[in-house]
Amino acid sequence: MFKSLYFKIVLILLIFIVAVMCAVSAILMNGVSSYFAGQFSVQMEECFGKETILYGELQEAAKDVQDAAGMKEILSSYGSILGIDAYRNYYVLDGDGNMLTGSDAKLGAQLEITPNLLSAMDGRYDNRIISGTEYADWALPLAEGEVIVYVKDSLEEVQQLNQVIFSIIIQAMFVGILIAILLSFFLAKAITSPIQRLTWGTRLVAEGDFTQPIEVNSRDELGILTENFNYMKDQLKDTLDEVSGEREKLRTVLACMRDAVFTFSAGGKLLHWNDSAAQLYRNSFGQEGDAVLDTCLEEMDIPLQRENGRLRLTSPDAAVERSQDGFVFRDRIFAGRVFDVSFGVIRYAEGRKKVPGCILIAHDVTGRYELDESRREFVANVSHELRTPLTSIKGATETVLSDPEMDEEMREYFLDMILSESDRMTRIVSDLLVLSRLDNKRTKWQVELFDMPSSVRRLCEVMRTDLEAHGHTISCTMEEDLPMVTGDRQRLEQVVINIISNAIKYTPEGGHIDVALFREGDRLVTTVTDNGVGIPEEDIAHIFERFYRVEKSRTSDAGGTGLGLAIAKELVEAHGGQISIQSKLNEGTQVRIELPFVGKLKPAEEE
Ligand code: ADP
C-alpha cells in the first residue's frame, strides 16, 4: 500500500499543500506585521514632524519641564490622530526615561528602555521599526532630551489579526488536503490505469501470448508508451516467429541429416543430438553425464583429450586433418560402420554468457569404404586369378623351350596345359567383360517372349553327356501350362547352364540333380537341387560376391573362376528377378531363381 503510486501521489500532494499553506501563512502574517509597522511609522512621522503643529505645541509646552499636564492635554487632544486606544499609549518621560504622565499610568510605570527611547534620551530623534519585536514605539526628544514624548503600541491587534489569518489558513489547509486526496485519486487512476494495462500486457508477453494488443486511450506520454509497447510486441513476435522458424528448419535439417550430430559442453556433457546420433548409440546415452564425450572419443578410437575445456591431440602423428576450427578423423570404425568424424569448437549461450563447447559430426562412409575395399579386393583377385594361369603358361613354355629333345608325350602334356590355362584366362577375361558391361549398363539385351520350360528341358538334354560323365542322374519336374517369359533367352539359359554345371561340379560321382519349374504368384521359379558337397554356412552370405569361392583348392580343381554366380545374380536382377542359395554342408545345395513373367528389360535397352 505504502509503495503504491496512489499513496505516493497523495503524499506528494499533501506535502505540497502543507508547504504552500505554511509559506502563504508566513508571508501573510509577516506582511500584516510589516504593513502595520509601516503604517505606524508613517503616522508618527506625520504627527511628530518638525513642521507639524503638534510638534510646535509640544516644543512650546516642553519649555516648562514641570508642565507635564499641559503636554498630556495636548497629546490627548491629538489622541485620535495618534491612534491612541487600548493597545497604543502615549507617555511623557523625563530625560532619564521616568514617566511624568501618560495615557496608561500603569503600563507607563513598567516601560522598558528600547533603542528608540535610548536615542531620544541622548537627545536624538532617530526612530527605527525593529522587526520581530512584540511592540512598535516612537520617541520624540524635546528641550534637548529633557522631556520625551513616547508612543508605544503593543501590536496585540496585529497578533489577533495574525491568529485569525492562521486559523483561516488551517481551515483552508484541511479543505485543500481533502481536495488533494480526491484529486490524487483521479490523478493516480489516470496514471496507473495505462500502467496497469501495460503491466498486464508485459505479463502476457512474458508468458508467450502475443495475441492481445493493449488498448490505447490517450495521446499523452503513457499513450505513446503503450503504442510503442504494442509495436515492440509485434516486432518481437515477428522476430520470435522468424527465430522459431529458423530453429524448426535447423531441427528438420538435423533430423533429416544422415550424419550423426552431437554437441557437448566444455565439460564434455552431452547437450544435443539428432535422430541419427540417437540411432548410432541406440539411445543409450540418454542419461546425461560428464563422461559422454570421453566415451565417444574412446569408442571411436579418436586420439583427442579434454583439457581445460579444450580438445588436445594425444598422439601428434595421428591420421588427422585439421580444418579451420577443428579436426577431421577419417575411417573410424564404430558400431560395425565406418565414419569420418569431424570435431569443431562452438560457442553457445548459457544464461547470459557465451561459453565454449564442441560439436562432433560422424559422417557414415561405410558405403564408400566398402566400395573402396571391394575395388581393392577385386583388383587383387583379378591379378591373382590371371597370374596363376600366366605362371603355369610361362613355366610350361619355358620347359618346352629349354628341352628341344623332350619326348612327344611330354611336350603334348605341356602344350595341353598351356592351352587349358589360356582357355581359363579367356574365360576369366570374358566373364569380367560380361560383368563390366552389366555394371556399365552396356549389355545389349535380346529381349523376346520365350517358353522357359522347353528351354530348360533342352538344356538338361544338352548337358546329359556331362552328367553321365560324372555318373549323375537328373530329373526335371515342371508345372503344366506355365506362361511364357519376356527376357533375354540366351542369357537366362546361360544362368541355368551355370547353376546346373555347378551342381555337376560340386556333387561327387553318382549324385542326383533335380531341376524344377513352377509358378508362384506372378513369378516363375526355377530350382536346381543337388545332393553334393554343400556350402559351409559362413560362406553362403558371400557366395554371390565376385571371385568368392569356397575352399579355393577344392573349387579350382573343378575349374571354376568364382564369377559364375556373380554373373547369374546380375543377369537375374537385370530381369527384375531374384536368385538365392540354400545349402547344407555334405548334404546338398539348392539354387532358386525367381523371374517375373514380364521382365523389366525394355526394348529401348535392347538397342
Ligand atoms: P565357380 O566358377 O568357381 O564355380 P561360381 O561363382 O559359380 O564360381 O561359384 C562360386 C562358389 O560357390 C564355387 O567356387 C563353389 O565353391 C560354390 N558353389 C557353387 N555352386 C555350388 C554347388 N551346387 N554346390 C556346392 N558348392 C557350390
CATH number at residue 559: 3.30.565.10
Residue 331 belongs to a domain: yes
Residue 145 sits in a domain of what CATH number? 3.30.450
Mutation choice for ligand 1 from 549, 572, 585, CB with most ligand atoms inside 8 A: 549
Residue 330 belongs to a domain: yes
Residue 606 has pLDDT above 80, yes or no: no
Residue 425 belongs to a domain: yes
Ligand 1 atom with the shortest distance to the CA of 548? 10
d(CA 501, CA 61): 177
Length of the chain: 607
In this structure, the answer to whether residues 19 and 111 fall within a common structural domain is yes
In this structure, the answer to whether residues 474 and 563 fall within a common structural domain is yes
Q: What is the mean pLDDT of residues 99-105?
A: 87
Which residue, 248, 269, 298, sits at the end of a domain? 248
Whether the CB of 550 sits within 6 Å of ligand 1: yes
In this structure, the answer to whether residues 516 and 570 fall within a common structural domain is yes
In this structure, the answer to whether residues 230 and 270 fall within a common structural domain is no
Q: Residue 178 contacts by C-beta under 8 Å, 6 or more apart in sequence?
A: none
Ligand 1 atom with the shortest distance to the CA of 507? 24
pLDDT at 360: 87
The answer to whether 457 and 476 have CB atoms below 8 angstroms apart is: yes
Residue 552 has pLDDT above 60, yes or no: no
CA 20 from centroid of its chain's CA atoms? 58
d(CA 500, CA 514): 9
pLDDT in tens, 445-475: 889 999 999 999 999 999 988 999 999 999 9
Range scoring the smallest mean pLDDT among 197-211, 222-236, 290-304: 290-304
Range among 141-145, 314-318, 518-522 rated most confident: 518-522
Residue 592 has pLDDT above 50, yes or no: yes
Ligand 1 atom with the shortest distance to the CA of 532? 24
In three-state secondary structure terms, 361 is: strand
Half-sphere exposure of 460 (CA within 13 A, CB side): 20
In this structure, the answer to whether residues 17 and 142 fall within a common structural domain is yes
Q: What is the mean pLDDT of residues 19-23?
A: 90
In this structure, the answer to whether residues 481 and 586 fall within a common structural domain is yes
Give the pLDDT band of residue 176 (cuts 50, 70, 90): confident
Ligand 1 atom with the shortest distance to the CA of 565? 6
Whether the CB of 62 sits within 6 Å of ligand 1: no
In this structure, the answer to whether residues 425 and 570 fall within a common structural domain is no
Angle, alpha carbons 464-470-473 (nearest 5°): 55
> Minimal CA–CA distance to 149: which of 80, 87, 40, 76?
76
What's the sign of the alpha-carbon dihedral 439, 443, 448, 450?
A: negative
Per the structure, the complete domain to which residue 486 belongs is given by: 447-596
Distance from the CA of 440 to the center of ligand 1, in angstroms?
Answer: 25
Residue 191 belongs to a domain: no
Give, using CA atoms, the residue closest to atom 14 of ligand 1.
549
Residue 199 belongs to a domain: no
Residue 186 belongs to a domain: no
pLDDT in tens, 554-577: 544 556 778 999 999 999 999 999
In this structure, the answer to whether residues 411 and 537 fall within a common structural domain is no
pLDDT at 500: 95
In this structure, the answer to whether residues 83 and 29 fall within a common structural domain is yes
pLDDT in tens, 212-268: 888 888 788 888 898 999 999 999 999 989 999 998 998 888 888 888 888 888 777
Which residue, 364, 394, 412, sits at the end of a domain? 364
- Structural domain total, the chain: 5
In this structure, the answer to whether residues 225 and 325 fall within a common structural domain is no
Give the pLDDT band of residue 6 (cuts 50, 70, 90): confident
Helix axes 408-439, 564-574, angle to 10 degrees: 30
Residue 606 belongs to a domain: no
Whether the CB of 560 sits within 6 Å of ligand 1: yes
Residue 79 belongs to a domain: yes
What is the percentage of the chain residues whose pLDDT exceeds 90?
33
Give, using CA atoms, the residue closest to atom 11 of ligand 1.
549
In this structure, the answer to whether residues 357 and 393 fall within a common structural domain is no
Q: What is the mean pLDDT of residues 354-358?
A: 84
pTM above 0.85, yes or no: no
Q: What is the mean pLDDT of residues 518-539?
A: 94
Whether the CB of 588 sits within 6 Å of ligand 1: no
In this structure, the answer to whether residues 400 and 423 fall within a common structural domain is yes
Secondary structure (DSSP) of 76-102: HHTHHHHT-SSSEEEEEEETTS-EEEE
pLDDT at 602: 63
Give the pLDDT band of residue 553 (cuts 50, 70, 90): very low
Whether the CB of 547 sits within 6 Å of ligand 1: no
